[in-house]
Amino acid sequence: TSASEKSAPPQITTHSSAQAVKVGKELKALNAQMYGAFWCSHCYDQKQTLGQEAFTSSVAYIECAKDGVDSQSQLCKEQGIPGYPTWVIGGQQFPGESDLEELQEIIQKVKGS
């Protein structure tokens, strides 16, 4: 597959709320990663929840689809990613889409462990 045939995820169109920026900074401090696929609607919704600024500046996005731009499908297999999106925060997996409050709870849980 040539690079021109690779698919990119849809652009994030929402802007980050003050709460999302705060959550984003905490995610960045914990080297959070979000594993997803360009075709995954829940991944897109998760990105929209955080918004453009918080997501792009704070979260390492790992593309798991083989035909996705910058695909790291082998890494996704090695990590045993169960589905998309899956957050990896503090070395722990948190599968599924989360709202800002749930992400905050995950952050507190990881910090406390």
37-89 per-position pLDDT tens digit: 999 999 999 999 999 999 999 999 999 999 999 999 999 999 999 999 999 99
Give, in words, the CATH class of 8-96: alpha beta
| Two tokens, residue 73 | 């499908």
pLDDT at 2: 52
To the nearest whole number, what is the mean pLDDT of the chain? 95
- Burial label for 74, CB within 10 Å (0-12, 13-18, 19+), is exposed
Pairing of strands 33-36, 86-89: antiparallel
pLDDT at 1: 47
Closest CA to 66 of 57, 75, 58: 75
Percentage of the chain lying above the pLDDT 70 cut: 96
pTM of this prediction exceeds 0.85: yes
